[in-house]
Structure 1
Amino acid sequence: MNHIVLGYDGSDFSVQALDWALDEAELRKLPLTVSHAWQWPYGQADEEAKAHLRKAAEHVLWHGADCARSSSSGIRVETDLFEGPAAHRLVELSADAALVVVGSRGLSALPRAVVGSVAGYVAAHAECPVIVVRGPGPLPTVTNPGPIVVSGTEPAASVLEFAFAEAELRHLPVSAPVDLGEWTARHPRTRLEASEGHEHPTLMVVGREHAARFSLADFLLQHAPCPVAVVGG
């Protein structure tokens, strides 16, 4: 639980994820690990060909880390270059992470893909909460941010704890479809809002089991108007 992990592949979608991961690292006062995975996709290859691909991967990783360092207010930025599947590496890194942040699609995602295979796999298997940031390019500037919205009729305690902690960090209210007297007592600085639909939520939070049962990919990651946090039980 000692760092924020960002999955970065140089795509426009990972640029939004980088912005969000930086915010989380700065709010939580934790270092950021920028992770990039690469692998030779064409079967057998000589070492020279693989060396060229590795050099390109190093450049992608360097670019992401450089953007993070130049945009942050002084947090420590570390790098992780991995040869192999990105999804498996991010799940591995989640074991000692406070949070993993990924874009909803990567460079290899198909235009009609509901959610990138990396994002979907990491959201389902990570050992810590995962935030999937939807959309390409830099995050838009929001002058009047909406609440942290808890999805589901019976959210687990871990989901509520994450939502309230995130709301407290960002000085935002929480919207949830349950009576949260216990939680508002534990987080007196966080306001509770009615659970009616919000046009511009800042973040939606859903439990991992609830997300799987109701098709996270089809329902949330394809249609949510904001980043989605998936939290285990």
Structure 2
Amino acid sequence: MVVPLVVGVDGSESSLEAVDWAVDEAARHAVPLHLLHAAAPGQDSSGLITAASKRAGGGAAGVRLSSEVLRDDAASALVDEGHKAFALVLGSRGLGELTGLLLGSVSLAVAARADCPVIVVRGSQEHRAGRFGNVVVGVEDGEGSDTAVGFAFREAHVRRCELVAVHAWSAPLGALSEPLPGPWYALEAHRRPPAQVLDDALRNPEKQYPETDVTRRVVEGSARQALWEAAAEADLLVVGAGERHVRPGLQLGLINHALLHHAPCPVAIVPIRRRKPLRGPTPKA
């Protein structure tokens, strides 16, 4: 059974933009699209979900569509739905959110708690419509971004576009004030050269998606700034997140938190996943 792409709707313009984006995304991956609205007991939500379904139905042809209204708080309902979702798609601000907020409280809570990829649809129409022809992924030193890299390759593959892999690094404290006999990373057995971090992270996915063009960017400096600059001309920014735990609370990290608030394009938060990968399109040999 193919699991659906789930989009949260609340009647806000931001959530309807997320519906538009999700229709195209479901078509690219050939997965069903499920519209979910969480309503308080006694609240009549039939008109809202009907309008959202009509909007989705007017999008890409061939997408199997379903909808549901749950009597639960929105964040909890979406997180629960994420256990059996291809991904969750959300708007950047919800109905009734203060104008000055950069990211709605529900979107932030779901991005922090869900154990499936969460895409927050933000940015200009140009960014949301996929007109730049590339997907950007942030690569960390270690295994924290492995699942995110795989997700980003799959996105670039189905979009038939370029993948831009960005790794930002900083020299250890004292490297500028004390002369080094060789590269600083040669003095630390657990550190790899920055270029090798990218090569190691991309090696297996490049074999799986050989037709995807990849650009490597090694940047000395702030990861947040490097990713923000790359996202300025991107259709999607993909970043990894730590493995989810039972305890509540934000588990995004400072960089992901900042990108969700300020990135100029849709952002995908992809947690480490230990369970069996979800079914998606099979890459060409």
TM range (shorter): 0.7 to 0.9
**How many pairs are equivalent?**
218
Structure 1 Cα separation of the partners of residues 40 and 11 of structure 2: 15
How far is the alpha carbon of 1:73 from its aligned partner?
0.3
1:38 aligned partner = 39
1:44 aligned partner = none
Structure 1 gaps, min length 5: 41-49
Summarize deviations over 1:176-198 as a string: whole Å, max 9, x none: 12222332222101111132743
How far is the alpha carbon of 1:215 from its aligned partner?
4.7
Bigger shift: residues 3-12 or 132-141: 132-141
Structure 1 Cα separation of the partners of residues 136 and 70 of structure 2: 34
Contact 2:34 2:65 in 1 (8 A): yes
Bigger shift: residues 161-170 or 63-72: 63-72
Contact 1:8 1:35 in 2 (8 A): yes
Structure 2 Cα separation of the partners of residues 72 and 146 of structure 1: 19
Contact 1:15 1:138 in 2 (8 A): no
Change (3 A) 1:138 1:16: farther
1:161 aligned partner = 150
2:170 aligned partner = none
Change (3 A) 1:25 1:74: same
How far is the alpha carbon of 1:112 from its aligned partner?
2.1
Contact 1:94 1:128 in 2 (8 A): yes
The reply on whether 1:214 has 2:254 as its aligned counterpart is yes
The reply on whether 1:72 has 2:60 as its aligned counterpart is yes
Summarize deviations over 1:97-139 as a string: whole Å, max 9, x none: 1111000111121122231111011111112111000158897
- Whichever residue aligns with residue 208 of structure 2, its letter is R
Contact 1:12 1:137 in 2 (8 A): no
Bigger shift: residues 223-232 or 188-197: 188-197
- Whichever residue aligns with residue 136 of structure 2, its letter is V
Structure 1 Cα separation of the partners of residues 125 and 236 of structure 2: 18
The reply on whether 1:17 has 2:14 as its aligned counterpart is no
- Whichever residue aligns with residue 119 of structure 1, its letter is S
Of 110, 130, 136, the residue aligned with 2:98 is 110
How far is the alpha carbon of 1:76 from its aligned partner?
1.4
- Whichever residue aligns with residue 242 of structure 2, its letter is E
- Whichever residue aligns with residue 189 of structure 1, its letter is E
- Whichever residue aligns with residue 186 of structure 1, its letter is Q
Contact 1:8 1:18 in 2 (8 A): yes
How far is the alpha carbon of 1:78 from its aligned partner?
0.5
Change (3 A) 1:225 1:14: same
How far is the alpha carbon of 1:34 from its aligned partner?
0.5
Q: Secondary structure at the match of 1:168?
A: helix
1:200 aligned partner = 233
Contact 1:208 1:231 in 2 (8 A): yes
Bigger shift: residues 119-128 or 149-158: 149-158
Question: Radius of gyration: which is bigger?
Answer: 2
Contact 1:34 1:80 in 2 (8 A): yes
Q: Secondary structure at the match of 2:262?
A: coil
- Whichever residue aligns with residue 73 of structure 1, its letter is A
Percent identical = 34
Matches within 5 A, 1:1-233: 2-39=3-40, 50=42, 53-54=43-44, 57-135=45-123, 141=129, 143=131, 145-154=132-141, 155-176=144-165, 177=167, 178-179=198-199, 180-195=202-217, 197-198=229-230, 199-209=232-242, 212-217=252-257, 219-233=258-272
Once superposed, what is the RMSD of the aligned Cα atoms? 2.2
